[in-house]
A and B are shown apart, each in its own frame.
Chain A
Amino acid sequence: MNHRTLALAILPPLLFLPLPSLAQEGTPDARSSLGLHAAYTLTPGEWSSSPIDKSVKLFAGGLSFEGDLEFRLGPRWTLAVAGAYATLAGSEWEKRAAEGGDRIEISGWMAHAALLLRPHVPLGARDMLRFEFGPAVLFSSGAETLDGVAYTYQQLPGFAVGGTVGAEYLHLFGGNFALSLRAGILFFPGAAESAYTSPGTILIVPVALGLRFLL
């Protein structure tokens, strides 16, 4: 059994144990904090593909920015209010259309806000693993300009409700700072719907690196 399999087998049951009992001598407790991250956002799934050629991304991910403010609920729990903004890159489909002689310009953005419950699992004196889950809302918009006419993408919802799960690794340095590496999945079932296509789930996968300022 390799380490990954072992971690997957052990970590989920640990979440259901009374987390304070996991506290070890000298391990950090959960603290209120402010987190700022730069992320690369992936947009997996059919919702982000071109309706004409599913192998080409209509909305490819790109650089995004995240922020959260979290409040300590207990030695191993925090509650966070988080948000992020990302631009959607349409260059892949623009290039493909240009090969056929069509000049289009694609613009799009999405933002989300989430309320996250975060259980903490200390890994040592300066390291901590945190999981997160909670409801999320998505705001998005996008359009394609062709010969001066802007065609709004109906499959990008102005507003959608879903949820998110994720994990974050923290390495503490100094008394009030931590380096943070985090990843998550945001899902919005049925949100990618237009008047003439069937509903699809919007999936967004941000992988982020940033700093956490402990309060």
Chain B
Amino acid sequence: MPHPVFRPPWPARRLCGARARTGIPAALLLLLLYGVSFGSDGAVLTFTLVNRTSYHLHAVNNNQPHAYLPPGSSIQAELPAYSSVAANARYSPGQGVRGEAARYFESDCTTTSSGTSSVSQDCSSNSSDGSESGSTSSHSSSTSCRPIRWQVTAAELDSSAEGDAR
């Protein structure tokens, strides 16, 4: 008989018998949800914007503005997996040229799960003193994302400027 101080506040054999049969799938479901929610193991989506024009650009990707991006240079952002990217680029002021383009990119990420999980309990009759045990093991998942790259060209920017002029 455990000391009253160490006695758990719930009935000792609550998970045994019929309730255990519903408890185990519930635990597995929780583990599965864990894998979906937190199993992306820090995977990131890489977005790169490259200035392929001969002018400086002002660019915004997912509300992160960048001013005076020189010709030929790029900016890179690492976003959480399964993010989408909204990007916008325009000629920087003071160059005598106008033009703007906006693009929206959906992420291309995949998650693979592997391993097993288990929950075990001791529901034998000699556990009437309230002893029980549980364990979980080896559940993992990995997420990978295809990098997104937007090469901003003068043709893209100029076409929007022509559209505005019409």
Contact = CB atoms under 8 A, between A and B. Distances in A.
Interface of A: 50-53, 56, 93, 96-97, 100-102, 104, 144, 146, 149-154, 195-197
Given A52-B94, A97-B93, 17 more contacts: A51-B92, A52-B92, A93-B94, A100-B94, A100-B95, A100-B96, A101-B98, A102-B93, A151-B65, A153-B67, A154-B66, A195-B75, A196-B66, A196-B69, A196-B73, A196-B75, A197-B70
Given A52-B95, A53-B94, A196 B67 contact: no
A104 B93 contact: yes
Contacts of A144: 67
A135 B69 CA distance: 32
Nearest to A56: B94
Contact of B74 (A53, A102, A150, A196): A196
A143 to B, nearest CB: 8
22 contacts: A51-B56, A51-B68, A51-B70, A52-B68, A52-B94, A52-B95, A56-B94, A96-B94, A97-B93, A97-B94, A100-B93, A102-B94, A104-B93, A146-B93, A149-B65, A151-B65, A152-B67, A153-B67, A154-B67, A195-B76, A196-B70, A196-B74
Contacts of A51: 56, 68, 70, 92
B63 to A, nearest CB: 9
- Kindly list the 3 A-B residue pairs having the minimum CB-CB distance in the complex, ordered from nearest: A102-B93, A151-B67, A97-B93
Contacts of A153: 67
Contacts of B56: 51-52
Nearest to B98: A101
Nearest to B64: A152
Nearest to A152: B65
B13 interface: no
B60 interface: yes
Nearest to A197: B70
Nearest to B68: A51
Contact of B60 (A50, A52, A149): A149
A122 to B, nearest CB: 50
A54 to B, nearest CB: 12
Contacts of B58: 146, 149, 151
A38 B38 CA distance: 56
Contacts of B69: 196
B46 to A, nearest CB: 14
B66 A151 contact: yes
Contacts of B65: 149-152
Contacts of A50: 94
Nearest to A142: B67
A93 B95 CA distance: 11
Contacts of A196: 66, 69-70, 73-75
Contacts of A56: 94
A147 to B, nearest CB: 8
A150 B73 CA distance: 21
B14 to A, nearest CB: 55
Nearest to A53: B94
Contacts of B98: 101
Contacts of A149: 58, 60, 65
Q: Which among B56, B68, B70, B94 has the highest number of chain A CB atoms within 10 Å?
A: B94
A200 to B, nearest CB: 14
A36 B93 CA distance: 39
Nearest to B91: A102
